[in-house]
Amino acid sequence: MEAALAWMALLSLPGLGRQRVRRLAARLGGPEAAWRAPEAEWLATEAAPPEILTRAAAARSRVDPRRLAERAAAAGVSWLAWEDPGYPRRLRATPDPPLILYYRGRMPREDVPWVAVVGSRRATSYGTQVAYRLAADMAAAGWVVASGLAIGIDAAAHRGALAAGGPSVAVLGHGPDRVYPEEHRALMDRMAATGWLVAEYPPGTPAEAFRFPERNRILAGLCDGVVVVEAAPRSGALVTADLALAAGRAVMAVPGPVTRRQGEGIMELLRAGAPPVATWEDVAAVLGEHGPGAAPAAPGPSGNGAISVRDAEN
């Protein structure tokens, strides 16, 4: 049994999250050895409370790893284990990378900068215009634009990148075969055809509020930098910014109207020292100081002169 199937199977067991599974595999010689090990060896690892390990070990008889893979494939979903050569290199270097990534579409090249554009679901017309145009200019330069496929700023960034003919990456808080929100079905279909839809959750996993803060660490870890366009205090966009800083990524903020709640989170970032950015060139200058994946290239003819640390569902 290959490592990916073992990770899938271990993660499907009740009570074992990725941290416990990671400890179990580390103490038993890898995921395949952990899957085969008897319950007594599981208990000896102390990777989780005994009652959880006992329950999870008993559940193994009801799990067929190959059947899990077949279900994913039948849903049009592929996967990468973190040991695989094709696993995203930036994400692999973070403290808590997903053990399995499930995806639709094709991962973009990694030798160019990847930038996340995130912000409020309750975006203003100013915010959506900024996000769209900034993403379009970065995509026209050959960069990869990532976001979380939420309504508001996220969706504007994805659409801007696609309109410029570039790839866009969406990090999902549900299985990659699910659509959320429903109004983004057409956008997801476009991204599956020309970009990359990725999640750590297997097919069939529904969108639930607690999953979105979890996915934010993946979004931050995939990218060289994060640009925040409008954010309320304590919003998901600021969570992503915090996670990006913890991973050593650049965090930038687009100044905007301070008379609206969406501007309060931006002011937090600016006071904390986040560089203000208003154009593609501003972002390129900041990334140049942080060692991005590749030297920035100038926008092509489609570049259009872009204007350019928490709502946990964002």
Q: Cα–Cα distance between 222 and 10 in angstroms, integer?
A: 24
Write out pLDDT tens, residues 69-103: 999 999 999 999 999 999 999 999 998 999 999 99
pLDDT value, residue 305: 31
With CA atoms as reference, report the closest residue to 95 among 241, 290, 246, 301. Answer: 246
Q: Which of 206-215, 294-303, 304-313 has the lowest mean pLDDT?
A: 304-313
- Which residues are CB-contacts of 112 (< 8 A; sequence separation ≥ 6)? 142, 143, 144, 293, 294, 297
pLDDT value, residue 313: 32
Write out pLDDT tens, residues 129-186: 999 999 999 999 999 999 999 999 999 999 999 999 999 999 999 999 999 999 999 9
191 and 266, same domain (yes or no): yes
Does the residue 274 lie in any domain? yes
Confidence band of 235 (pLDDT split at 50, 70, 90): confident
Does the structure show a pLDDT above 80 at 310? Answer: no
Does the structure show a pLDDT above 60 at 293? Answer: no
48 and 186, same domain (yes or no): no
pLDDT value, residue 148: 96
Structural domain of residue 50, as residue ranges?
Answer: 1-70
257 and 141, same domain (yes or no): yes
Does the structure show a pLDDT above 80 at 306? Answer: no
63 and 122, same domain (yes or no): no
Does the residue 15 lie in any domain? yes
pLDDT value, residue 121: 92
SS3 assignment, position 296: coil
Last residue of a domain, one of 70, 102, 124: 70
Q: Cα–Cα distance between 184 and 51 in angstroms, integer?
A: 42
Write out pLDDT tens, residues 174-204: 999 999 999 999 999 999 999 999 999 999 9
59 and 125, same domain (yes or no): no
Does the residue 63 lie in any domain? yes
120 and 265, same domain (yes or no): yes
pLDDT value, residue 290: 55
Does the residue 39 lie in any domain? yes
Q: Are strands 196-199 and 100-105 parallel, antiparallel or unpaired?
A: antiparallel
Confidence band of 213 (pLDDT split at 50, 70, 90): confident
What share of the chain has pLDDT > 90, as a percent?
Answer: 83
Confidence band of 250 (pLDDT split at 50, 70, 90): very high
- Mean of pLDDT over the chain: 90
Q: Cα–Cα distance between 50 and 54 in angstroms, integer?
A: 6
Confidence band of 1 (pLDDT split at 50, 70, 90): low
Query: How many domains does one find in the chain?
Result: 2
Q: Cα–Cα distance between 221 and 266 in angstroms, integer?
A: 21
pLDDT value, residue 260: 67
pLDDT value, residue 259: 58
| CATH classification at residue 188 | 3.40.50.450
Write out pLDDT tens, residues 21-63: 999 999 999 999 999 999 999 999 999 999 999 999 999 999 9
* 132 or 263, higher pLDDT: 132
Adjacency order of strands within the sheet including 78-81: 78-81, 100-105, 196-199, 168-171, 144-147, 114-119, 225-229, 250-254
64 and 144, same domain (yes or no): no
Whole-model pTM: value is 0.89
Does the residue 28 lie in any domain? yes
What share of the chain has pLDDT > 70, as a percent?
Answer: 90
283 and 176, same domain (yes or no): yes
Does the residue 171 lie in any domain? yes
60 and 120, same domain (yes or no): no
Does the structure show a pLDDT above 90 at 307? Answer: no
| CATH classification at residue 44 | 1.10.150
- Tell me the average pLDDT across 257-266: 75
Does the residue 65 lie in any domain? yes
Helix ranges, the chain (H): 3-11, 18-28, 31-36, 39-45, 50-59, 65-74, 89-92, 125-140, 153-163, 185-194, 211-222, 236-246, 264-271, 280-289
Does the residue 196 lie in any domain? yes
Q: Which of 90-104, 116-130, 278-292 has the lowest mean pLDDT?
A: 278-292
